[in-house]
A = this chain, B = another copy of it.
Amino acid sequence: MTNKLAKTNILGAPSWKFLLLSATLFFSYAIPAYADSHEEAPAKEPIAVEAQPGEAPPYKDYEEFAKSDGFEIFTINNLWILIAAFLVFTMHLGFATLESGLCQKKNTVNILFKNVFIISIGIITYAFYGFNAMYPGDMIVDGVGDWNGYFAMGSWFGVDNNDVTMVTDAYNPGYPWWTDFLFQAMFAATGATIVSGAVAERVKLGSFMIFATLFVGLAYPTAGSWKWGTGWLDQMGFYDFAGSSIVHAFGGFGALACVLVLGPRKGKYTENGLRPIPASNFPLATIGVFLLFLGWFGFNGGSVLSADPRTVAFVCVTTALAAASGALSSMVCSYLACKKPDLSMALNGILAGLVGITAGADSVGIADSIIIGLIAGAIVVYSILFFDKLKIDDPVGAISVHGVCGIWGTLAVGIFSEEYTVGTQLIGTLSYSVFAFVFAYVVFSILKMTIGVRVTEEEEERGLDITEHGQEAYGS
């Protein structure tokens, strides 16, 4: 019975949808391959650590480079950015456990499967397309770039092994290209993971996999290039240190669009008002939030893009303070709002503080970070209650945590830092939010009209684990 259901219901119905998925993957390779042979490839000549644009790399070979004065710092930078990449990787485990802990037992396998898929497809698409699309790199060489600042075609990420210093003409002169790729690839997958939680418990697996592939493989690097690839928002003076907007608001408002297309879970909003759907496993959710907190030290600390002791230390402290004050603030606010000390709100408070500090972790003051966290922790509580009032069903609170607090964090840079203005910050954060929302809305709507995005009522009732996977999360 179980197996029969599993057979007939996966990915909607016919297995050609898996072919569609494969086609998508192929497509993300074919386009750049085509592009590579039809346009001049983006200039990827190595620029050595201290070389000026246009100069030749100053080292004959790697051995000579290894004896140079800057090599120790180069090595330390590399080590730190790699470790930061590992920490950001850990966040994916954090998301997997948080989301599966906050949802119902019967959809746990489905959530875990999606998370395994997202980190995998995220790394692979970033290698085939995303990295070079997000960091076209020419801007730094030419002063004014020969890409338009809005969209650069991606391509296979690999560099020539003969590059002496393994650095590129993109933004990172201080550590190797490969490290750069790994760190950024771990970031890339985060956006789609945020959506994963919001659409959980009723989304059709195959449709989500297609959406996630496009969202992480195409939309994220395009939008990311606007700021981090030195595109139009960067030139306008917009600042987003580690991605309150570029990653979190992007993911959060992509999630909002998907949830609007998808609709709420069956039975959540009834005639008699909201019927809460309790979390299935709070220890799992708590593990998730602690791992996200841990990983955020890499997310923010690694975004310094070097191991510079002053900045990295500062960033880690603002990150920790915002997380801690976010938790305390959420505890108080949710107590005031719900008259009980709510664990899920406390957990979301930590995340809210972290999302809030992400845009300005290096540029606001130490005390400001506490204020940013306190406000984020309050925002997330009322935002979650607000979306529930609107009957927008987000099982894990992702829209509030990542979307709303992502906007707050971006604006906070304009408020607390003298260098940046609230106006530019607003333009930037809205650009990311609106772009992600529109992209997600369009793609998800097309999927809805073609292969469908939502499981049947019966499948939702029985749970996606049995109906999509033929597996139960908790056996005997």
Does chain B have a CB within 8 A of A316?
A: yes
> With the chains together, A308 CA to B121 CA distance in Å?
29
With known contacts A310-B176, A340-B469, A283–B100 Cβ distance under 8 A: yes
What's the dominant secondary structure at chain A's contact region? helix
8 Å CB interface, A274-294 against B: 278-284, 286-287, 289-291, 293-294
Assembled-state Cα–Cα distance A22/B280 (Å): 32
Residues of B within 8 A of A66 (CB): 308
A321 to nearest B CB, angstroms? 6
Contact B185 A320 (CB under 8 A): yes
Q: Mark A103-116, 1 if CB is under 8 A from B, else 0.
A: 01110110011011
Indicate if the CB atoms of B281 and A120 lie closer than 8 Å. Answer: no
Is A12 among interface residues, defined by CB-CB distance under 8 A? no
Chain B, residue nearest A180 (CB):
B313
Interface presence of A205 (CB below 8 A): yes
A181 is an interface residue with CB less than 8 A from chain B: yes
Is A234 an interface residue, CB under 8 A from the partner?
A: no
When the two chains form the complex, which single residue of B76, B80, B112, B291 contacts A93, counting CB atoms closer than 8 Å?
A: B291
**Which listed segment binds B: A38-46, A145-153, A343-351, A383-391?**
A343-351
Q: Is the CB of B471 within 8 A of A181?
A: no
Tell me how far the C-beta of A316 lies from the nearest C-beta in chain B, rounded to whole angstroms: 6
Question: Is A341 in contact with B468, judged by CB distance below 8 angstroms?
Answer: yes
Total chain A interface residues with beta-carbon distance under 8 A: 119
A235 within 8 Å of B (CB atoms):
no
Distance to closest chain B CB from A212 (angstroms): 12
Report the separation of the CA atoms of residues A155 and B350 in the bound assembly, to the nearest whole angstrom: 25
Contact of A205 among B3, B10, B341 (CB under 8 A): B341
- The answer to whether A279 and B328 touch across the interface, beta carbons within 8 angstroms, is no
Q: In the complex, how many angstroms separate the beta carbon of A419 from the nearest chain B beta carbon?
A: 14
Confirm or deny: A117 has a beta carbon within 8 angstroms of a beta carbon on chain B.
yes
Does the CB pair A281–B280 fall under 8 Å? no
Interface residues of A in 68-126 (CB under 8 A from B): 71-80, 82-83, 85-87, 89-90, 92-93, 96-97, 100-101, 104-106, 108-109, 112-113, 115-117, 119-124
A168 at the interface (CB under 8 A from B): no
Whole-angstrom distance between the alpha carbons of A143 and B115 in the complex? 51
CB distance from A425 to the nearest CB of B (A): 22
Contact A89 B293 (CB under 8 A): yes
Identical chains bound together, number:
3
Contact of A178 among B80, B175, B316, B347 (CB under 8 A): B316
Q: For residue A88, give the distance in angstroms from its CB to the closest CB of chain B.
A: 11
Q: Is A339 in contact with B7, judged by CB distance below 8 angstroms?
A: yes
Binary contact readout A286-307 vs B (1 if CB under 8 angstroms, 0 otherwise): 1101110110010001000001
Contact A124 B158 (CB under 8 A): no
Which of B109, B283, B328 lies in contact with A343, CB distance below 8 A?
A: B109
Please, which residues of chain B bring their CB within 8 A of the CB of A294? Answer: 86, 89-90, 93
Query: Does A262 make an interface contact (CB < 8 A)?
Result: no
**Contact: B85 with A316, CB < 8 Å?**
yes
Whether A341 and B176, one on each chain, are in contact in the complex, defined by CB atoms closer than 8 angstroms, is no
Most buried by B among A109, A175, A301: A109
Cβ of A27 to closest chain B Cβ, rounded Å: 15
A181 CB contacts on chain B under 8 angstroms:
317
Q: A113–B345 Cα gap in the complex (Å)?
A: 10
Contacts of A473 in B (CB 8 A): 281-283
CB pair B85–A83 under 8 Å, yes or no, is no
- Are A474 and B281 touching (Cβ within 8 A)? yes
> Which chain B positions have C-beta within 8 A of A6?
339-340
Q: List 10 A-B contacts (CB under 8 A).
A: A15-B335, A71-B73, A82-B313, A85-B316, A86-B297, A93-B287, A177-B313, A182-B313, A282-B471, A287-B287
Q: Which 10 A-B pairs have the closest CB atoms?
A: A78-B309, A93-B290, A178-B313, A278-B475, A120-B324, A123-B324, A120-B327, A179-B313, A176-B313, A282-B473
